[in-house]
Amino acid sequence: MLFSSAFCQNGKIEVLTNYNVNRNAIYSSQNLYGIINEDGSKTIAAEFDTIYKSERFCYSEECQCFIAEKKSQYYFINYKGQLKPRIAFDSLFMISDFRNSRYSGYKNDTLYFFKSNGQIITTEYDRMLYGTGSSIFTIKNEKLGLIDIDNNIIIDFEYDNLKYARHNAYLIAEKNGKVGVIDLANQIIVPFDFEQIVPTLASIGDNDKEFVIQQNGKMGTINMDSSYWRIVIPPEYDAISGWCCGGPHGHYIIKNGKEGFATVDGKVIIEPKFEGLNETYGGFIVQENNKTGVINLKGDTIIPLENDLIYDDFEKLIFNPEDTLDDKFIVLRSDNWMYYSMNGTLIQKDVDIKEIKKEKPFLIEYMDRFKIVRAFCLIKIKTASSRVNVPASKN
């Protein structure tokens, strides 16, 4: 809980939280809790067993509201410190994204939805999950749909899973074990022919509607533009990455345990034939039979595949790629440390490891970078449905 400077009156009142946008905060008195304004006026008397304040970072006034508890009943207090609506709920929930927050509550097994101004709407839903913008993902009869903040149905309740795609104009939907893409009019944009559809992070600019897909147990990519979509990388791989940082924009591809690389437009520039593959300056560091080398984007050899370790300045490659001063590979071969230029020319042999550690103190800790990158970026074959079920208890 966040604390501000305490406001005290006869030593009996203590302000417990920071003041919200309307200068209200939680205070305690005689082991009960209320709401007090910064000017010292008590907007809500200390009569509750507990009062919670949202610590979520967001921009809306609704995020600055409070939930009070008294004798296992819950009350909503808006950001102005007003008890609206004046209803005791069996449970209360905040439904929010980073810019908006709405609230729902159960009373006698009925779900209510309301805003910070106290407006309350009786619903027939089982649960409201989370909101984004002016819409809320909602469950009814164990099916997901989408409503707006005025309780109008945007997408009917017919899906096992539902989430926004990259833009709020499209949703990735799951139905009867298959996944597709629909628009806000519930029109099918990408047919329900896939086991998995995942937005990629490799997409930039005009490629921001690229998705990794799984079809018949294999992975590929599609590109979606308005009502048109097409397969870009055919679904024939065992795993595919959702991003590639520091190198060409595209995807690692894995087939039969071997790694390769394909660009976002579907061109396979490195066939999946290596045990390990990582992007580097103008190409890839590759591993095979416990040996390491460097190839360019055409697959031509830059440093032969005969080394124990090859290290590049990964941090500079990611965060400051235009700084090419002193760029070099650090190579270990048969206990001999060496420097190689970016074009594969040997610069220096018999480099003292102390010199390397001084220049790159985290080098030894970073030797296993292949496994680190794999853990972060691979999208693997999905074998089970991610269907969302209504919780057994509403409390």
The dihedral through the CA atoms of 25, 30, 31, 33 has a sign that is negative
DSSP assignment of 237-248 equals ESEEES---SSS
pLDDT digits (tens, 9 = 90+) for 106-120: 999 899 887 656 678
Phi-psi region of 30 (alpha: psi -120 to 50; beta: other; left: phi over 0): left
Amino acid at 113: F
Amino acid at 314: F
DSSP assignment of 270-316 equals EEEEESEEEEETTEEEEEETTEEEEEETTS-EEEEEEESEEE--HHH
Instruction: Decide the pairing of beta strands 110-114 and 309-311.
Output: unpaired
pLDDT at 30 over 60: yes
Any idea what DSSP says for residue 382?
P
Q: Count CA atoms within 13 Å of residue 204 on its CB side.
A: 9
Distance CA 129, CA 94 (A): 9
- What CATH fold (topology level) applies to the domain 238-380? Lipocalin (2.40.128)
pLDDT digits (tens, 9 = 90+) for 369-378: 544 444 445 6
pLDDT at 313: 67
Distance CA 126, CA 112 (A): 10
pLDDT at 236: 96
pLDDT digits (tens, 9 = 90+) for 120-151: 888 899 988 877 767 889 999 999 999 987 88
The pTM assigned to this predicted structure is: 0.74
The dihedral through the CA atoms of 178, 181, 186, 187 has a sign that is negative
In sequence order, the β-bridge partners of residue 157 are none
pLDDT digits (tens, 9 = 90+) for 241-266: 887 655 567 888 999 999 999 988 89
Cα 137 → chain centroid: 17
Two tokens at 326? 């002193």
- What are the structural domain ranges in the chain? 238-380
